[in-house]
Amino acid sequence: MTKEIKGKEGIDFVVCQICYRKLKKITNTHLSKHNMKKEDYQKKYPNKRTEAKKLSDYRKRNIKNKTYKEQFGEQKAKEIINKKRKALTDYGIIEKKCKVCGQIFSIKENIVQEYCSLKCKFESQKKGTKIISCLNCKKEMVVGKNFIRKFCCDECSNIYKKENKYINMLCRTCGKEFLELKRNIGSNRNGFCSKECKKKFQINNRKVDYRRKTYLRLGKFCSRCNTTKNLLVHHIDSNRLNDDDENLTVLCRKCHSKLHLEMNEYTKKFTGQADIENGTIIMLNGLRKRFGLDISDVNFRETPKRVARAYEEIFEGINSKDKIKDILSKSFPSKYSGMIIVDDIVAFSMCPHHFLPVEYRVSVGYISKNKMLGISKLARLVEMLAKQPILQETFTANITKILTEVLKAEGAIAVVNGRHMCMRMRGVKAVSSTTTTSSITGIFKRNEVRQEFMQLAKKVNWN
């Protein structure tokens, strides 16, 4: 049984308006029995006190603005602080030391913050800033190193503009002293005594890209039709890595597309060559940003074109159904019912996972009663199927599948031994390792037929 509190309501105790119980203070723990929070209770009963006046006066006198040490003594204060720290860790809150003032503050683990307040954060940023004085009131202020601000507030700016029309400045190009209008302070127009000096500075400035340099040098009009709409900068030799002034010209979009059509007629570019060239340029720029590769070297100037031409030959086997039909169409009738084996066919492919080369040594055999292929046709078929980004397992299965479907062979077998550069030159760097796969159809599933093929086929020798 709880003791009944005596005294006056509001001074010695307060009454809960839900259960009419006398309490010194209505807390969230008490209101949890009624499935309510203190905020909701105060909204429902706005004119009712939630704390007795004597208790609130005691808290103001003895607790408010006092540390635990002043209230309870040094030993008990340590115990309370340790209990609070343990409770905070359960909610993922940790304590950090401010880098500027050294004060300890609490913050959640997932929040990256090194300062206890905005004032400390502002002071820490002074290292990457500069202190300047306002042109009007001479008040010191902290701004970024590359910041062009001249006034501490808008009022100072307006006063200064009314009193001063011109300011003495030095030209950023020739160093000549000149008068600059007040309205140009803080804009890109100030800092130059003439348009020529500004143009020279922009051309020689490294931050300006090749497009702006070309527009400043040649003017903003098409070199073919003299229009000023839909302009772009064209590389004359089609190499986007060569940004020399002699290699750049200004064209409109219509003239640019016409020029590329004319170029394609005599250069005989294949479909997709431009995309491969652009992809190579992006890759080289990525290497420049990541490793500092000097792509201005002469050796890289024709690299995008060379890569595109090489890929045209390397990936010739993609969607090559018509070419495979031409290879297999030249067959001849024969009554020979024995096994036909072609050994040690060398073919090259690309790994689809890393786009690195793969070298294959292939042994192919088939048994057919009606149709026979020329010996060279089997080698050409294997080479054509390999010329694409394809897995070794898929490549092996495709050989036997085509032989059985087109030649209507009783059975076909293919054994592929591959050396993958993605394993040899990166990752595990297994230089001497090889991967062997096989595919069997029809009569070759019999043990005696398969063993005959394995005895007749030569073992692959990589030396």
Average pLDDT (373-393) is 90
Give all strands (DSSP E) within 104-176, no chain letters. 104-108, 129-133, 140-144, 166-170
Closest of 439, 428, 296, 304 to residue 365, by C-alpha: 439
Least confident of 44-58, 174-188, 285-299: 174-188
Percent of residues, the chain, with pLDDT higher than 70: 86
234 vs 100, residue with greater confidence: 234
Task: Sketch out the chain's domains with CATH numbers.
Answer: 14-62 (no CATH), 209-267 (no CATH), 273-312 (no CATH), 321-456 (3.30.1130.10)
Of these ranges, 24-38, 147-161, 344-358, 404-418, the one predicted with the greatest mean pLDDT is 344-358
pTM: 0.46
Question: Is it the case that residue 206 has pLDDT exceeding 70?
Answer: no
pLDDT at 388: 92
Average pLDDT (92-111) is 77
Look over the chain and give the mean of its residue pLDDT values, rounded to a whole number. 81
Question: Is it the case that residue 367 has pLDDT exceeding 60?
Answer: yes
Q: Quick check: 274 and 240 in contact, CB under 8 A? A: no
Average pLDDT (88-117) is 76
pLDDT at 349: 94
Percent of residues, the chain, with pLDDT higher than 90: 13
419 vs 57, residue with greater confidence: 419
Sign of CA dihedral 331, 332, 335, 339: negative
pLDDT category of residue 1 using cuts at 50, 70 and 90: very low
Residue 70 CA to residue 86 CA, distance in Å, equals 22
